[in-house]
Chains A and B, each alone.
Chain A
Amino acid sequence: MFYREAGQFKSTYSADMAVFPIRQDRIGIAVILGIAFVAIPMLGDDFFISSVMIPFLVFSLAAIGLNILTGYTGLISLGTAAFMGVGAYSCYKLTTIFPGVNIIVLILVSGLFSAAVGVFFGLPSLRIKGFYLAVATLAAQFFLQWAFVRVPWLFNYNASGAIEVPQRLLFGLPVTGATASPETRYFVCLGLVVILTWFASNLVHGKIGRSWMAVRDMDIAAELMGIKLLNAKLLAFAVSSFYAGVAGAMMIFFWYGTAEAADVFNIRLSFNILFMVIIGGLGSLIGSFLGAAFLSILPTALKFGLPALGVPLTGATAEHVTFMLVGALIIVFLIVEPHGLARLWQIGKQKLRTWPFPY
């Protein structure tokens, strides 16, 4: 009823292959972008933008990265946080080595470093898969985290051992450092996320994406069809780590500011991003956003939202309840919809399509 495809005819192949072939989808996207670019900066206060929206965007990007690897190629990784760390540290080094270069360029370039490291740690995937690979990627997590503390060159020999984010301008406005307003940082993050999501969407809908999915569904069959497993898997690691690296650089430069980065990119973060991907839906870009929204906003909402609603939860109790609720919700979601929030979204669309009739 509300979501009718009838009457929308395609006269070219390219129109039929479009990412959003249906008019309602295109309208929906436009509305969402409108909300993201106009409504949120206008309506949200500083806390909402800097502690809810920016984390959400950063985690979404990281989740897209991991989803490319886990959801589309079927390789589980528990080292996402470390690859994010590589992005953050390379971006920090790049800003000190090339102080004059545009920060956006540097953030994207630091993703390439992360991609290279990702490919290296992706090599075991040629021999092992499944949980064995997952545990093997933990080697990357622990080794890189150790390196972040141990190699003082990475943090410019700062006495504090922290990454100290310098101020950088974009079109005359500070975008990094403490003087950057939350709105500016939000717009930069949003811009990067939108562009990279668009890029990822093209990637997974194209030849490369289909070769990944072939590898995921049955690697031997994929190989027989002429897909080079080596290339497909390592490319997946590279692209995934690129996204993670960009997300990591964004995390430090647009969100944390100066931070003990080695501690930030810990194993908990890796697990959290994996949660986001699975709760959101494996092999779905929308799912990455939904999962990130669910797991990054939920704890904050519980912690600060419940007291605002008048529920008397403070300090430690709130934290305990948050832990229990998140745990319980993960289980409930998996039971109710093991294919993630993205599947719920599809069901919702189907319902809208046939409403008011059940079929």
Chain B
Amino acid sequence: MPISEWRTDDHRIQEPECKGEERMSDVAAQPAPSLLANGWIRTGLITAAVIAAIAIGARIDPSGTIHKVFVDPFQQMVEAPDLLAQTVWEGLVSGVLYALIALGFVLIFKASGVFNFAQGIMVVFAALTLVGLHEKGVPAFLAVILTLGVMFVLAATIERVVLRPLVNQPDIILFMATFGITYFLIGFGESVFGGNPKQMITSELYLPKGAIDAKILGGLVSFQKIDIAAAVIASLMIAALAVFFQYTRIGRALRAVADSHKAALSVGISLNQIWVIVWFTAGIVALITGIMWGARSDVSFALEIVALKALPVLILGGFTSIPGAIVGGLIIGIGEKLGEFYWGPLIGGGIESWLAYFIALGFLLFRPQGLFGDKIIERI
């Protein structure tokens, strides 16, 4: 192996570790502004050195690993911009869907401090209820309303049976309780609706079909109408949630609860009511997510696994931030699609399953509280 290559590798490995040690030593002290500035300069210098080393390495050995990892993919991006655009679009769409699942988590975490593992199964459950009702002959829009009713009953039941008796328990206990909810809903859903995969009733809900093929960037980029619809509906819903939180009485109460349970209680806000509302809101989000994912593949219990993808989005975006969930979702979506498409083939493909977590971990090294999370995470 040429010396230059060895050196660059060495640099890359050592760099984050050095930084980690460095940060650790100045934990207790408040970081002074000058120190921060120094840190930035140093980061910049190291980055520049790494880039230079990579460039030299790639020049020396055009067919070597460095070239394949650091030059080839970018060349591909430039050579086929239509594919790049398509990849980014695909990433955006799945990012929106990840963000929707993550949003459900965030809503509940903010209001009740519960890390709701059951959000994934709630997505499946909502979609199954909708499709199952429609199969039984209920008209589509009535089925949507009935499904919302079911989600409300679910929220109220969870509040009454699970949350209220467990109030004031440690976080991990509540977290475990949501596992219990997950198991229960899997068994319940399957026994009521059966395990067969079902088709999402897209046309009955007036969701568009087909694609818009745009001849741009010297090729063809196709935009699925259902994906566009998903993006639009997601944005509308997020806007609606923002308005709801910002301007309504309940929204203000929700924010009060998120800030401090005790203070909210002392001014007469009923925690129990708020929890029902929040879980119901998460149920609505779950239904919309379920419709969108279901339209992309089908409605089955396998969707529950996809929901795990929301977890790296959460570390990236922070557990308590709605904008964080959205931006995090988009970053993870685009990042993993680009990674899988351009770098995946180098190591055999299929890296999508873990890439999202590594992207999130990489961010964590620099911002332990996530992109927009509250800075209450104790740094150690």
Contacts and interface: CB of A to CB of B under 8 A. Distances in A.
B361 A139 contact: yes
Contact of B347 (A123, A129, A150): A150
A122 B78 CA distance: 38
B181 interface: yes
Contacts of B378: 129, 219
Interface stretch (B46-54, B186-194, B234-242, B256-264): B186-194
B380 interface: yes
Given A132-B377, A142-B357, A328 B368 contact: no
A334 B177 contact: yes
Interface string A326-343: 111111001100100000
Chain A interface extent, by class? 35 or more
Contacts of A323: 183-184, 186-188, 190
A127 interface: yes
A134 to B, nearest CB: 8
B115 interface: yes
B112 interface: no
Interface stretch (A13-21, A181-189, A313-321): A313-321
B60 interface: no
Given A128-B368, A142-B353, A326-B183, A335 B166 contact: yes
A145 B190 CA distance: 28
B350 A146 contact: yes
B110 to A, nearest CB: 13
A130 interface: yes
Contacts of B2: none
A320 B361 contact: no
A334 B364 contact: no
B40 interface: no
Given A131-B115, A135-B311, A138-B357, A324 B377 contact: no
Nearest to B351: A146
Nearest to A76: B172
B183 to A, nearest CB: 3
B312 interface: yes
B315 interface: yes
Interface in B325-374: 347-348, 350-351, 353-354, 357-358, 360-361, 364-365, 368, 370
A22 interface: no
Contact of B179 (A129, A271, A317, A335): A271
B183 A324 contact: yes
A316 B370 CA distance: 42
Contact of B161 (A130, A316, A331): A331
A135 B315 contact: yes
B157 to A, nearest CB: 11
Contacts of B115: 131
B106 interface: no
Given A143-B354, A338-B173, A317 B191 contact: yes
A128 B161 CA distance: 32
Given A126-B380, A150-B347, A330 B315 contact: no
Interface string A139-157: 1001101100110000000
Q: Of residues A130, A142, A149, A219, which shows the largest number of chain B Cβ atoms within 10 Å of its Cβ? A: A142
A334 B353 contact: no
Interface in B292-332: 308, 311-312, 314-315, 319
A129 B357 CA distance: 16
A146 B354 contact: yes
Contacts of A331: 161-162, 177, 180-181, 184
Contact of B368 (A127, A142, A319, A322): A127
A127 B20 contact: yes
B348 A150 contact: yes
A307 interface: no
Contacts of B195: 316
A323 to B, nearest CB: 3
A196 interface: no
A282 B353 CA distance: 30
Majority SS of interface residues in chain A? helix
B170 interface: yes
Contacts of A86: none
Q: Of residues B183, B364, B370, which shows the largest number of chain A Cβ atoms within 10 Å of its Cβ? A: B183
A275 interface: yes
B354 A126 contact: no
Contact of B354 (A142, A321, A328, A338): A142
Contact of B176 (A128, A138, A326, A330): A330
B379 interface: yes
Contact of B169 (A128, A230, A326, A338): A338
B274 interface: no
Nearest to B17: A123
Contacts of B187: 319-327
Nearest to A131: B115
Contacts of B179: 271, 275, 327, 330
Contact of A126 (B24, B180, B315, B350): B24
Q: Of residues B23, B184, B379, which shows the largest number of chain A Cβ atoms within 10 Å of its Cβ? A: B184
A214 interface: no
Given A126-B24, A326-B183, 16 more contacts: A126-B380, A135-B314, A136-B364, A138-B308, A138-B357, A139-B354, A143-B354, A145-B353, A267-B308, A316-B190, A320-B188, A323-B190, A324-B184, A327-B179, A328-B184, A331-B184
Interface of B: 20, 23-24, 115, 161-162, 165-166, 169-173, 175-177, 179-188, 190-191, 195, 308, 311-312, 314-315, 319, 347-348, 350-351, 353-354, 357-358, 360-361, 364-365, 368, 370, 377-380
Interface of A: 76, 123-124, 126-132, 135-136, 138-139, 142-143, 145-146, 149-150, 219, 229-230, 267, 271, 274-275, 278-279, 282, 316-317, 319-331, 334-335, 338
24 contacts: A124-B361, A126-B24, A127-B380, A132-B315, A136-B315, A138-B357, A142-B353, A143-B354, A219-B380, A230-B24, A271-B179, A274-B176, A282-B172, A319-B187, A320-B191, A323-B184, A324-B191, A326-B183, A327-B179, A328-B180, A330-B176, A331-B177, A338-B166, A338-B173
